[in-house]
A and B are shown apart, each in its own frame.
Chain A
Amino acid sequence: MEIKADTTVCIGAGMCALTVPDVFDQSDDEGTVVVLRGEVPPELEDAVRRAVTLCPSGAISAS
């Protein structure tokens, strides 16, 4: 699974970090999304998909 995150679109709502803290964090200064790991372990793939639908700004995608 490949994750793309666009910090220029991100509004820092934190739904991603709340949903899958193992994969997403937020930067301290702007609060925008930080992807913590390039490789998503299979057991987290569903959670990552959920995070993508929960993101209010469309900043993250997974394929």
Chain B
Amino acid sequence: MSDLTLPIDRQRPLDPPDEIIELSRQASMHRMRYADGHLGWLVTGYAAARAVLADPRFSNRPEKMHPAFPARAALAQNGEFRMPPGMFLRTDPPEHTRYRKLLTGQFTVRRMKMLEPRIEEITNACLDDMEAAGGPVDLVQAFALPIPSLVICELLGVPYEDRARFHEDAKVLVNLETKAEDALAALGSTMAYLHGLIQRKRKEPGDDLLSGLIESGDLNDEELTGVAFLLLLAGHETTANMLGLGTYALLANPDQLAAMRDDPAVVENGVEELLRYLTIIHLGPFRLALEDVEIEGNLIKAGEMVGLSLPAANRDPSRFPEGETLDVTRPASGHMTFGHGIHQCLGQQLARAEMRIAYPALLRRLPGLRLAVTPEEVPMRSHMSIYGVHSLPVTW
């Protein structure tokens, strides 16, 4: 298996690539060739993936990482490249701990509960507009993207009118086929915008998360810009794709859709199940072994890369029996869609709140909701780091 490279093309839109499914049937860990020739690992088993993500002997710093995707190889090999400060996702403790602690208080279960009325308002306004316009509409543009986009902009204190400037950059950045120089340019342009925003907020603080961080005085402007970038990007791309792809999946499974629409008791778990079943993190995360580590009898040598297929881990039959079916009533918590270990998603409770409100609101307001094209015509985000639908034409 040592010449295996990363397969990302899906044969069926809602399932991981066949090659990954086949591999996960054989073993939970595999040797894999990275884009620069490095021979590392691919993990497809649930327990092994959890073990890697919880183990401090693996680093998430980008400096020595080997690229998994050919278009990114040049970027990684350019020794000059360093993560801008503040992008704490790609740091290790104690640096990571410092940033994370500054932010976790803003994303607690309780705080996200307090945001619910505002999320409901935003959701209802989107639905009002959809109804007024009449179908067919693109559900991504009318619903799936504006809800998380408005929520994260308000939370951070980023003017929503400015969204066009970073939406375009975000698309470039999450495209796995984007050339290194284009990715750097998109990163630079959004960073410049956010840096300006931080400086304005320093003079005129508002009642928002970024102003609060500025006031606390723990981070300098460069760090604040990096933090703002990470939260803005993560707040957009993830939940928007869950709402778009989740609706597509529900339309393909009418009995599951009916349960999410008609039974409020199902919604909380139904959201977990959609998170598990869809696992929109296509491939990755990736880690670098800082020392020799043995996992399930496999010796991962210091300096070797380990990539995880979370879609495969979340369908591991030893953890989720019949994981290939969408069943909104199965016990789905424990899935790894938000990751595991110290980098587990900071915004996960916000994402849950948005989905718990948005799915049932959509399905109840528009009970006749259906695709306006054939399922095969829906363009899938196969080459983006976050999987989903590019657009979802619907009518009702």
Contact = CB atoms under 8 A, between A and B. Distances in A.
Interface residues of B, number: 25
A14 B341 contact: no
Contact of A26 (B100, B110, B333, B341): B110
A30 B101 contact: yes
A11 B342 contact: yes
Contacts of A30: 101, 104-105
A31 B342 contact: no
Given A19-B333, A54-B333, A56-B339, A14 B349 contact: yes
A13 interface: yes
Contacts of B109: 14, 17-18, 21, 26
B3 to A, nearest CB: 34
Contacts of A57: 54, 341-342, 344
A17 B111 CA distance: 12
A10 B338 CA distance: 16
Nearest to A24: B109
Interface string B334-354: 100011111011101100100
Interface residues of A, number: 22
Given A12-B107, A30-B101, A56 B340 contact: yes
B108 A28 contact: yes
Interface string A43-63: 000000010011011100000
Interface string B186-198: 0000000000000
A11 B349 CA distance: 13
Nearest to A27: B105
A46 to B, nearest CB: 12
A17 B352 CA distance: 14
Contacts of A14: 107-109, 348-349
Given A56-B339, A56-B340, A57-B341, A28 B349 contact: no
The 4 closest A-B pairs by CB, nearest first: A12-B104, A31-B104, A56-B344, A26-B108
Interface of A: 11-14, 17-19, 21, 25-32, 50, 53-54, 56-58
